[in-house]
Structure 1
Amino acid sequence: MKKIFIILALVITTVSLAQTPEKMSYQAIVRDADGNLLSNTSVGMQISILQSTAEGLAVYVETHSPTTNINGLITIKIGSGSKATGIFSEIDWSSDTYFIKTETDLLGGSSYTISGTSQLLSVPYALHAKKADNVPSYKIGDFAHGGIVFWVDETGQHGLVCANENQSNETKWFAGTFGNTQAKGNGIYAGKTNTSIIISSHVIIGDDNDMYAARLCNELEVIANNVSYGDWYLPSIFELKLINLNIVTINTAIAAIGGDSFLGDSFYWSSVEETESNAGIVNINNGQSSAVLKGSLNSVRAIRSF
């Protein structure tokens, strides 16, 4: 009896998902121990949505008391039963694989003797869209994730923010000893890797516990809206030029919260090493880059990704 029920439920489940808001249609044919259709009979059912695997965490559980029709068919709307645990509308269907587990009591109670589990191979578009509507999006100039947004990707959900103020107006790129760090990356997010390389290299080259541009950024902690952000880094040349592209919008946003606006013809250190003795700077006013001695004194503004 268990094998018959599981096979029928699996086939029907994978093809009967309806696009009704916040609900899924589920159908199954119920038979008794002898394989006979269980017609016009009230049965007890428990539905569980399992995450990741067929034995995974039950993120949602509800119960139903449907009545079979003359052909032994029951039809229920998952999401509209008597909730036991979880919130159906808050399941993020796009983030993982999900399975549906059905348990049935042929006598109409809650002593479930028949069970079956199958993967949800498709999920109604309406459920995906509902969840997507709750995902925040950002634009340049927003105050978010500890700083001012200066670049967002095509989704509007991820990007880069700069700190609200300079970490220094006059600091060196290195701690004092020349040496190749091989921090050569340039582009979006490249500054994060460069910063790690620079700090690791200074451990070998020697920093005498002196402060320098990459270390200033790495040790920065910003608390905003009761959240601590500690993963700041020294931007690449390309990332600094992204700030220049929208400098007016960014400065307006910074001024609105009482931060340090980017001043005209201010030179900012990038994380890009040019030679053993030189590193890249960017004129934040016009976006022009150049290479200068690592011992030169320039401004530092940390950024982070979100």
Structure 2
Amino acid sequence: MKLVVLGPAGGLVFYTTDGGRHGIEASPTDQGQSEWGCYTVEVAGAESQEVGSGKTNTNAILDGGCVQDYVYSGDIAARIAYDYTLNGFEDWYLPSLGELGLMYSELREKKIGDFAGYGRYISSSQQEESNIRSWAMRFSNGLEVLIYRNLHGHVRPVRSF
């Protein structure tokens, strides 16, 4: 039997601190696929890969005015995560690479959360000193990969509580 812990918004908890009083929860479902955006534009403040930096990275991407490179891609991953609402909670963001790593080990590897076994999940972490690549993670094997920002990946919003 899998132990599934739900957060205050009804998301899947994958990280906790302070004896479980604080942490990070993931949306129970993917919110489609999108690109990172801002192809050829370096975004100041979106470099961190650390757990706890996803919100700061997401805000930097949105403050940078990032848009998609291809018309058919819809909105960028950070905007999709930011606009997500679940059970009245509207404070979602795109996870950092470190947060994706915890989602992989604490949820995907335990077969919790109905994650896609193919493709990659987009993080909010851009490659340092790059204006064309950002970090993503393959949820088939947990591999961290650099991808061009105009390539698509799955979007799974997270929020801190």
Task: Give yes or no for TM over 0.5.
Answer: yes
| 1:300 is the counterpart of 2:160 | no
Residues of 2 paired with 1:148 and 1:277: CA distance? 31
| 1:218 is the counterpart of 2:73 | no
8 Å contact kept, 1:266–1:285: yes
Normalised to the residue count of structure 1, the TM-score between the two structures is 0.46
**CA deviation map 1:201-227 (0-9, x unaligned):** 01xx6669951000000011111xxxx
Task: Give the secondary structure class of the aligned counterpart of 2:135.
Answer: strand
Residues of 2 paired with 1:286 and 1:158: CA distance? 28
- Give me the CA root mean square deviation: 2.1
Q: 1:180 aligns with which of 42, 48, 72?
A: 42
| 1:141 is the counterpart of 2:4 | yes
Say which structure, 1 or 2, has more relative contact order (CA 8 Å, 6+ apart): 2
How far did 1:270 drift?
A: 0.4
How far did 1:266 drift?
A: 3.3
- Equivalent residue runs for 1:85-164 within 5 Å: 141-146=4-9, 147-164=11-28
Normalised to the residue count of structure 2, the TM-score between the two structures is 0.85
Aligned AA (2:43): T
Q: Which runs of 5+ in 1 are unaligned?
A: 1-139, 255-260
Which of the pair has more CA radius of gyration?
Answer: 1
The 1:206–1:299 alpha-carbon spacing in structure 2 relative to 1, beyond 3 Å, is closer
Task: Give the secondary structure class of the aligned counterpart of 1:144.
Answer: coil
Tell me the residue number matched to 1:54. none
Q: Which runs of 5+ in 2 are unaligned?
A: none
How far did 1:237 drift?
A: 0.5
**CA deviation map 1:138-185 (0-9, x unaligned):** xx73112220101111422111100011111x311116x520012101
Tell me the residue number matched to 2:52. 189
Q: 1:199 aligns with which of 54, 62, 86?
A: 62
8 Å contact kept, 1:243–1:250: no
The 1:200–1:212 alpha-carbon spacing in structure 2 relative to 1, beyond 3 Å, is same
What is the aligned residue count?
151
8 Å contact kept, 2:37–2:67: no
